[in-house]
Structure 1
Amino acid sequence: MDKPISSSPAYAAGSDSTRIQNRVLKNTYMLLSMTLLFSGATAGLSMALNLPHPGIIITLVGYFGLLFATSKFRNSGLGIVCVFALTGFMGLTLGPILSAYMSLPNGGQIIMNAMAATGVIFLGLSAYVVTTNKDFSFMGGFLTVGILVAFLAGIGAFFFEIAALSLVVSAMFVLLMSGLILYETSNIIHGGETNYIMATTTLFVSIFNLFTSLLHLMGFMSDE
């Protein structure tokens, strides 16, 4: 008599792999939800206290420093602390930007539109990957180069105050962050990313940059 399929070693290994991937996906979205709420709270606190923007140097040092710490401690409980520190810090830097938009006649509407668009893009892309089970790992090299180029161009646009370049960079980041959401979600589903702390960090950064880029573009289109 043939052995039941469930007793096959290959089947058992496949089932274990699927369970691990589902667990990583579940933990990632749970932690991502909490970090988004925490970041929103720190952004609101920053707005309530009318805190000034820390400046590009402190922002970059704080961001990359906390990102390095999160990566270093990703396999320990301290990694959770680091990811909340990172997302909370990013919320604090976002607060002054939102305050500046809120001071505009149509600022509140621009913020809500950017937030809604970000949510639709993230949920739509994530659902597409989960339902189709497509593998987007081939995008890794392109995204790495694209993000580096866009980042350097953004630094140049800031220091040289080139408004047109700044808009181009924002448009690039919308496309790149959308690609990164596809890539990272695919990575989780296909077992390329098994650490939910790092998966959360990547998706959070994608959402954050997607939102700020859309905010910039929508503000420009509204002549604000």
Structure 2
Amino acid sequence: MPGYSRADAATVDAGLRSHMLGVFRNMGIGLIITGIVAAVIGNTPALYQPIFGTPLKWVAIFAPLAFVFFFTFRIDKMTDAGARTAFYAFSAVMGVSLASIFIVFTGASIAQAFFAAAVMFLAMALWGYTTGRDLTKMGSFLMMGLIGIIVASLVNLFLASSALQLVVSILGVVIFTGLTAWDTQRIKSDYLHYAGTQATAKLEVMGALSLYLNFVNLFQLLLNLMGERE
């Protein structure tokens, strides 16, 4: 590590490991919150019928997207604890949005899609963390693809085209798999750039949000591709 003594390098490496563990810990807590909220609402008719049986379903669908924009623009003004709390609140909102999968898909399909997403996510995160290849160019390409599938998904909310949904799901799996590796490398690079500053605590939360979104989207897309409907 150029410019560092062995002691400095060891300190930075220890800090990086701690930072990445914090990122994945926050992400894991977020996924647990999402899963609990989704399962409770999705398996309780008294809760899901007033949401998904009325126009409130549009609020449930778009609320997570609005929350992400709010979170991204406001995080600089939040305390470290506030940013973490906001992320957990977002995870709960996402749980409400995902509750419909328990109505549409079988429990076995949900479990299979989750396992497949976990294996793919962990493999790509490990590669992104360990590879010496610069993934910047790949990330720029994937971000353009992400914008494309977001637009296509929004359009398909109104068209309800099964063919378009299939294309979006296949491309989406490829894009979010690649983004997992790119985001992991970016999180690592950001820490090395800001190591020793107060910014690292919020970077931990933002990193957790990025990886959380990759995993949740990968899971949903795989569920759409391989899920058996009720």
Q: Common fold, TM-score beyond 0.5?
A: yes
Q: Cα deviation per residue 1:119-141 (whole Å; 9 max; x = unaligned)? A: 11011112223343543222221
CA–CA distance in structure 2, aligned partners of residues 157 and 184 of structure 1: 27
Equivalent position of 1:5 in the other structure: none
Amino acid in the other structure paired with 1:213: L
Change (3 A) 1:155 1:69: closer
Change (3 A) 1:26 1:164: same
Equivalent position of 1:21 in the other structure: 16
Within a 5 Å distance, the mapping from 1:88-167 to structure 2 comes to 88-101=92-105, 107-167=106-166
Give the % identical residues. 24
Equivalent position of 2:83 in the other structure: 79
Distance apart, 1:57 and its partner CA: 5.0
CA–CA distance in structure 1, aligned partners of residues 92 and 148 of structure 2: 26
Answer 1 or 2: higher relative contact order, Cα 8 Å, separation at least 6: 2
8 Å Cα contact 1:43-1:94 kept in structure 2: yes
Equivalent position of 1:104 in the other structure: none
Q: Secondary structure at the match of 1:180?
A: helix
Q: Cα deviation per residue 1:182-213 (whole Å; 9 max; x = unaligned)? A: 01111122336850111110111111110110
Change (3 A) 1:9 1:148: closer
8 Å Cα contact 2:43-2:103 kept in structure 1: no
Change (3 A) 1:99 1:58: closer
Distance apart, 1:174 and its partner CA: 0.6
CA–CA distance in structure 1, aligned partners of residues 161 and 101 of structure 2: 19
Q: Secondary structure at the match of 2:4?
A: helix
Matched, 1:206 2:214: yes
Change (3 A) 1:9 1:125: closer
Distance apart, 1:69 and its partner CA: 3.3
TM-score (norm: length of structure 1): 0.83
Matched, 1:10 2:4: yes
Distance apart, 1:116 and its partner CA: 1.1
Amino acid in the other structure paired with 1:187: R
Aligned residues: 210
Change (3 A) 1:57 1:39: closer
8 Å Cα contact 1:181-1:203 kept in structure 2: yes
Matched, 1:197 2:197: no
Q: Secondary structure at the match of 2:190?
A: coil
Distance apart, 1:14 and its partner CA: 4.1
Amino acid in the other structure paired with 1:70: F
CA–CA distance in structure 2, aligned partners of residues 196 and 15 of structure 1: 20
CA–CA distance in structure 1, aligned partners of residues 99 and 158 of structure 2: 22
Q: Which runs of 5+ in 2 are unaligned?
A: 194-199
Within a 5 Å distance, the mapping from 1:6-85 to structure 2 comes to 10-11=4-5, 14-50=9-45, 51=48, 52-53=51-52, 54-60=56-62, 62-71=63-72, 72-73=74-75, 76=79, 77-85=81-89
